[in-house]
Structure 1
Amino acid sequence: MSPPDPTRVALVGALGHGLRHRRAIASLRERGLARLVAVANRRPVTPEADAPLDGVAVFDDHRRLLRESDAEIVVVCTPPHTHLPIARAVVESGRDLLLEKPPVVSPDEYAVLAAALARTGAACQVNFQSLASPALARLGAAATRGALGTPTLVSVAGAWWRPDAYYRRSPWAGRRAVDGVATADGALGNQFAHAVMQCLAVAERVGGPYRIDLVELERYRTRDIEVEDTACLRLTLSTGVRVLVAVSVCAAEFVYGDLAVHGDRGSARLEFPTDRLKLPGDPEFRTVTGRVTMLENLVAHRRDRAVPLLAPLPVTAPVVDLLGVLHAAPEPVPVPRRHLSPHPDGDGQVLTGVVDVIRAAVAAGALFSELGVAWARPAYRATPGPTAGPPAPPHPA
């Protein structure tokens, strides 16, 4: 039997992060799995050596692409506040969908998209690449065997640098809303969204299904923006597990996103970008092989619906719930300038000592304000309502 023809893929949003998708599709074409047949972008799209456009139809509007292309899967890589109308148009046209993270920006939008998927039967994969980590499955299996005992805390520490120019890159950057539509920018909603999603996925793998009983949130900004560039988030789950996320994009020192899981019998560390895992008793980190891309998984699912998606829309519901909390929360607290210092490379200020604060927070499972940090303020507390969507399917092993 001859192998199936490559799956026909279209891309909406082909520049910026969209170029990464073009490169990923080109890589799948070399393996005979998928080929790019159309792109839609408002600005002109040019070919790259590793992302050619030979034979690819180019449109300036996604509606024309959907009318005129024969794509089977459409990748949507546009600003988050534009996802819902484009995603609905894709699934209502009969295509399957790979949707950039976060999938939508509010629980209300989630309900609309979930209903469209249920009505059309289309598949939707959300591009939370961290959920493709084979180390995540290995960690879940170890927890099931009791290697950690009763889990108590899942934490992640992240410290990056984003210059002031980063917030001038697009009209929605650093904004809470554009034309009355909520966005999803900010350290928690955008830059470290993968870390938040991974913490929630790990919490389910080690502690079982949960609801979020309490959100404690501290948001700070060091520049003239409407969203947080530094944050601490603590979730209390119905299983008794707590999740602590401490992050900043105002750091001179780089910490990618160190995830730790603590139980009463031991602790584990997961480097989800590198698929390295350290379980209790391991002398050092071990690399877990076998990662596939989200698009590769979606292609396999389209060919055989028995192949489970790695990140179907319901798995992302807790993240969307948290976005709802972020939108309802007070404005981020400005950090006084006396706590800032020029970044060594220029174009912005770093928050002095923020990496030490982040590490102390995850070590103690504490909020910044509980550590006596001079610029910290008491947390905003909320209980999110569940998204109106179908229950999440079991995660693949």
Structure 2
Amino acid sequence: MALVGANGHGRWHRRVIGGLHDAGQLRLAALVDTRPIEQEPAAPVPAGTPTFTDYRAMLAEVTPDVVVICTPPHTHLPIARDAVIAGADVLLEKPPVLCTAEHEELAGALARTGRVAQVGFQALGSAALTALTDAMSAGRVGAVSGIATLAAWQRPDAYYARAPWAGRRTVDGRPVLDGALANPLAHAVMQCLAIAEAVGGGPVAPVSIEVERYRVRPIEVDDTAMLRVRPRHGPPIVAAVTLAGEDFLAGEVRVTGDAGRAVLEYPSDRLLLPGETAAREVPGRRGLLENLLAHRAAPGVPLIAPLARTAPFTAVLTALQAAPAPTLLGGGLVDAVGDGPQRVLRVRGINEVLRRVAEQGALPSELGVSWAVPPWRAVLAGPE
């Protein structure tokens, strides 16, 4: 196994790989990064592990069976394509690719080579998500009329200085889309799409996408966004997220039906079903790398997050590429907490707006929020 992008978030992958290496389930054959490999005390590099600064040189010399790709989003497609052509299966960090055309290109490479790609939406391996969809199938929620997610996080100034592509819409003419919907809170959107998949009994086919996007800094992408996806079949999906929250809200997915409402706090795997008085933790997450290894050993074991499953998410990103620049919020609407690189900007009243959007399935402009602008809308396909 090789890891491309061994620094930054790649150190998390090194910890996972290190444990599996020590257990004899794999052999770490190479680390790749354009910068010197940083030491990770929780997962030291095994003695003698080759390191590279160019993934192409690594593919030629090491010929790995599996490649984990944890590089900037706009580099995913060429690295993944080259890895599968070289004969490797891949675990590809989210967002996997940045538009439907890239998705189709990578899917074609997988089909031609017979390789597979797992996408790093690790929350899809949650036992809590399975418990929720099982409860829905058993009628605990009833006929589903709405699926929504809301999350309020905070990111300091340092977050947008972490890399040259941070907060950018494009780099060197290639899309990056490092916004709240596409990157840090992508899991919230993907969880909703997975639930919609369970409701409809098959892949989600978005017909239209409406989005309001805002920012509190001179960045090129959104740090606050409200999204509504209307699928061909099933209820609408609404996402209301921010990186400029007043108070921390880890991330909730709400499923509303005529028998009640279920709430899944996806980062903590806490689930509240209709008729229950308190949320309970549902332990157990299947690791995506372990699942990929199990699939390689026995192809009858299904992948948790195959590339095909993420096609609706990529359709959302395709729409975001065409959307206008996010609206800048400022003045008395935004306040600052802290100084220097750890300064955080917050939108006054944003948490309440997020709750209203998730509760009513309406976007801020439709709710009469004073600072809201009309949504941008993309029609992806006509009705059947």
Distance (whole Å) between structure 2 residues aligned to residue 106 and residue 377 of structure 1: 25
Report the equivalent of 1:98: 91
Measured after TM superposition, the shift of residue 344 of structure 1 is: 4.5
Q: Which amino acid in the other structure matches residue 49 of structure 1?
A: P
Distance (whole Å) between structure 2 residues aligned to residue 249 and residue 219 of structure 1: 12
1:151 matched to 2:144? The reply is yes
Q: Which amino acid in the other structure matches residue 298 of structure 1?
A: L
State how 1:178-193 maps to structure 2 within 5 Å.
178-193=171-186
What do you get for the CA RMSD once the two structures are aligned? 1.5
| Kept after mapping to 1: 8 A contact 2:63/2:86 | no
State how 1:174-323 maps to structure 2 within 5 Å.
174-209=167-202, 210-323=204-317
1:367 matched to 2:360? The reply is no
Q: Write out per-residue CA displacement over residues 209-249 of structure 1, whole angstroms, 9 at most, x where no aligned residue.
A: 34212211000011101101101001122223111100110
Measured after TM superposition, the shift of residue 385 of structure 1 is: 5.3
Provide the secondary structure at the position in 2 that maps to 1:81.
Answer: helix
Report the equivalent of 2:330: 336
Provide the secondary structure at the position in 2 that maps to 1:188.
Answer: coil
Query: 1:349–1:273: structure 2 CA closer, same or farther, 3 Å change rule?
Result: closer
Equivalent in 76, 79, 88 of residue 83 of structure 1:
76
Report the equivalent of 2:113: 120
Report the equivalent of 1:22: 14
Provide the secondary structure at the position in 2 that maps to 1:228.
Answer: coil
Distance (whole Å) between structure 1 residues aligned to residue 381 and residue 155 of structure 2: 32
Distance (whole Å) between structure 2 residues aligned to residue 385 and residue 237 of structure 1: 10
Measured after TM superposition, the shift of residue 48 of structure 1 is: 2.3
115-124 vs 275-284, which deviates more?
A: 275-284
Measured after TM superposition, the shift of residue 277 of structure 1 is: 1.5
Distance (whole Å) between structure 2 residues aligned to residue 299 and residue 275 of structure 1: 24
Measured after TM superposition, the shift of residue 115 of structure 1 is: 0.3
Provide the secondary structure at the position in 2 that maps to 1:35.
Answer: coil
Provide the secondary structure at the position in 1 that maps to 2:29.
Answer: strand
Equivalent in 346, 354, 358 of residue 354 of structure 2:
358
Provide the secondary structure at the position in 2 that maps to 1:247.
Answer: strand
Measured after TM superposition, the shift of residue 147 of structure 1 is: 1.4
Report the equivalent of 1:72: 65
TM-score, normalised to structure 2, is 0.95
Distance (whole Å) between structure 1 residues aligned to residue 280 and residue 335 of structure 2: 38
Distance (whole Å) between structure 2 residues aligned to residue 49 and residue 385 of structure 1: 50
Measured after TM superposition, the shift of residue 37 of structure 1 is: 1.7
Distance (whole Å) between structure 1 residues aligned to residue 135 and residue 60 of structure 2: 48
Q: Which amino acid in the other structure matches residue 352 of structure 1?
A: R
Number of aligned positions between the proteins? 378
Give unpaired runs (5+ residues) of structure 1: 1-8, 387-397
| Kept after mapping to 2: 8 A contact 1:37/1:55 | no
Distance (whole Å) between structure 1 residues aligned to residue 135 and residue 281 of structure 2: 15
Report the equivalent of 1:134: 127
Measured after TM superposition, the shift of residue 319 of structure 1 is: 0.7
| Kept after mapping to 2: 8 A contact 1:158/1:247 | yes
Distance (whole Å) between structure 2 residues aligned to residue 357 and residue 364 of structure 1: 11
Distance (whole Å) between structure 1 residues aligned to residue 134 and residue 194 of structure 2: 13
Measured after TM superposition, the shift of residue 287 of structure 1 is: 2.3
Measured after TM superposition, the shift of residue 382 of structure 1 is: 1.0
Distance (whole Å) between structure 2 residues aligned to residue 114 and residue 207 of structure 1: 23
| Kept after mapping to 2: 8 A contact 1:324/1:384 | no
Provide the secondary structure at the position in 2 that maps to 1:67.
Answer: helix
Distance (whole Å) between structure 2 residues aligned to residue 303 and residue 117 of structure 1: 18
Give unpaired runs (5+ residues) of structure 2: none
Measured after TM superposition, the shift of residue 253 of structure 1 is: 1.1
| Kept after mapping to 2: 8 A contact 1:208/1:239 | no
Distance (whole Å) between structure 2 residues aligned to residue 28 and residue 385 of structure 1: 44
Provide the secondary structure at the position in 2 that maps to 1:87.
Answer: helix
Distance (whole Å) between structure 1 residues aligned to residue 338 and residue 254 of structure 2: 30
| Kept after mapping to 1: 8 A contact 2:206/2:315 | no
Distance (whole Å) between structure 2 residues aligned to residue 310 and residue 375 of structure 1: 40
Report the equivalent of 1:395: none
Report the equivalent of 2:39: 47
